[in-house]
């Protein structure tokens, strides 16, 4: 029996939390004058936009509601700027590392060169980011500001303020702000970082950020509702593409989300159910690592939200750990996956994904994983 711990998927108990949403009949098909079954309303139902606007701290007119996948929106927004801003060959993108492999796949698909910047507990190393932004070929940057993938770090207010006000040599530098885990704390309270759009606007850079959010890890992983939010020229450019691209996304599913959650309070209450499932897994995993990685030279993060734990082995060990795990029936995220082009220069970072596993599987995975790190460190 192979255990698959490669991806940050919610587990069966979590997706079942929204069975009622899936099975909820619509009692009315018309809302605010809109038949949710018919064509139209390209940017989403007003009530859905209001929920996203409150979640992201933006105005509803700045929100465009998408389909089930915020990754799809990120890809499409990236594609928009590739065309509109001519991010052709020579363009470069700042990638805080370790980071999210699917972000890197998007940049790679479009041939935009990726530049690694180290993450700290407060976000990317801003001294380096500011230096890179002084290069006119550097057109933008990926960010996961809250419970970063894979560390679970939260950007500090200083980091966000510096991102908002930094001088960029490229006049239309874009920050892709993937707020995937904005209310996904399972311990403590919801982080309240500075709002990137407000901060950028204060500094005359309102077109700099494009923010993304998704219900995939709130309602149904494969059938949620996503959005992006932007302002100024960015919003105009993205709207233009959207108007050519679609007559509108699934409003029936939007209406079911509106009926099920009602408002942001409803979303927050629902997230406590996820937290109750995830907290014990993270606590168990962290306690196990505390005990069993002690003498291996490996370090790991202790996130209070998100979907991952980031583990740093001694240099040169990560690939070997993956291999040993595989030989023992446990698949973990490939070593290197958290870096652009799949290349971890130190071969030391591993993304540990506890969420999808049952407690039994988690125990087995940790046992194999920590033993593998021990073996790899000693040889």
Q: Which parts of this chain interact with its own copies (CB under 8 A)?
A: 7, 9-10, 12, 15-16, 18-19, 22-23, 25-26, 29, 35-41, 67-69, 71-72, 75-76, 79, 82-83, 102, 105-106, 108-110, 216, 220-223, 240-241, 243-253
Indicate the residue among 79 and 161 with the shorter CB distance to its own copies: 79
Distance CA 375, CA 45 (A): 54
Shortest spacing between CB 256 and its own copies, in angstroms: 9
Shortest spacing between CB 99 and its own copies, in angstroms: 16
Burial environment of residue 20 by CB neighbours within 10 A (0 to 12, 13 to 18, 19 or more): exposed
Shortest spacing between CB 42 and its own copies, in angstroms: 10
Indicate the residue among 142 and 300 with the shorter CB distance to its own copies: 142
Shortest spacing between CB 48 and its own copies, in angstroms: 13
Distance CA 107, CA 180 (A): 18
Shortest spacing between CB 37 and its own copies, in angstroms: 4
Indicate the residue among 151 and 237 with the shorter CB distance to its own copies: 237
Indicate the residue among 114 and 221 with the shorter CB distance to its own copies: 221
Shortest spacing between CB 260 and its own copies, in angstroms: 13
Distance CA 368, CA 147 (A): 26
Indicate the residue among 281 and 374 with the shorter CB distance to its own copies: 281
Q: Which of 144, 193, 200 is nearest to 172 (CA)?
A: 200
Shortest spacing between CB 78 and its own copies, in angstroms: 10
Beta strands in the chain (DSSP E): 3-5, 30-31, 34-35, 63-65, 92-97, 113-120, 123-124, 138-143, 174-178, 209-214, 226-229, 299-300, 309-312, 330-332, 349-352
Cis bond upstream, residue 98 (ω within 30): yes
Indicate the residue among 159 and 214 with the shorter CB distance to its own copies: 214
Distance CA 285, CA 301 (A): 11
Q: Which of 186, 226, 179, 194 is nearest to 68 (CA)?
A: 226
Dig out the tokens for 149 from the structure. Answer: 């993938």
Indicate the residue among 182 and 226 with the shorter CB distance to its own copies: 226
Distance CA 182, CA 86 (A): 31
């Amino acid at each position: 029996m192979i255990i698959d711990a490669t991806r940050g998927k919610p587990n069966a108990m979590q997706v079942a939390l929204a069975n009622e949403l899936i099975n909820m009949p619509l009692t009315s098909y018309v809302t605010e004058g809109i038949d949710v079954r018919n064509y139209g309303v390209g940017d989403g139902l007003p009530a859905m936009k209001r929920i996203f606007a409150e979640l992201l701290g933006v105005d509803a007119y700045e929100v465009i509601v998408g389909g089930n996948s915020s990754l799809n929106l990120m890809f499409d927004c990236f594609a928009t700027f590739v065309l509109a801003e001519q991010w052709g060959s020579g363009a470069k993108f700042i990638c805080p590392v370790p980071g999210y492999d699917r972000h890197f796949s998007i940049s790679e698909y479009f041939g935009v060169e990726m530049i690694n910047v180290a993450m700290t507990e407060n976000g990317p190393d801003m001294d380096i980011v500011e230096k890179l932004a002084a290069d006119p070929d550097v057109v933008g940057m990926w960010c996961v500001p809250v419970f970063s993938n894979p560390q679970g770090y939260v950007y500090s207010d200083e980091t966000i303020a510096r991102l908002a006000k930094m001088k960029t040599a490229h006049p239309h530098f874009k920050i892709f702000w993937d707020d995937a885990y904005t209310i996904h704390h399972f311990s403590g309270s919801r982080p309240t970082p500075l709002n990137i759009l407000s901060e950028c606007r204060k500094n005359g850079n309102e077109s700099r950020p494009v923010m993304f959010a998704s219900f995939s890890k709130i309602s149904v992983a494969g059938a949620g509702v996503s959005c992006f939010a932007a302002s100024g020229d960015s919003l105009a450019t993205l709207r233009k593409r959207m108007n050519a691209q679609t007559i509108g996304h699934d409003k029936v599913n939007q209406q079911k989300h509106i009926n099920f959650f009602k408002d942001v309070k409803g979303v927050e209450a629902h997230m406590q159910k996820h937290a109750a499932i995830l907290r014990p897994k993270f606590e168990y995993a962290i306690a196990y690592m505390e005990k069993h990685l002690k003498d291996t030279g490996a370090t790991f993060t202790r996130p209070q939200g998100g979907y991952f734990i980031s583990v740093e082995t001694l240099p040169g060990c990560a690939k070997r750990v993956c291999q040993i795990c595989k030989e023992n029936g446990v698949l973990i995220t490939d070593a290197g996956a958290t870096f652009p082009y799949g290349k971890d220069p130190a071969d030391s970072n591993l993304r540990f994904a506890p969420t999808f596993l049952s407690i039994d599987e988690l125990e087995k995975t940790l046992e194999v994983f920590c033993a593998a790190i021990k073996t790899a460190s000693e040889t």
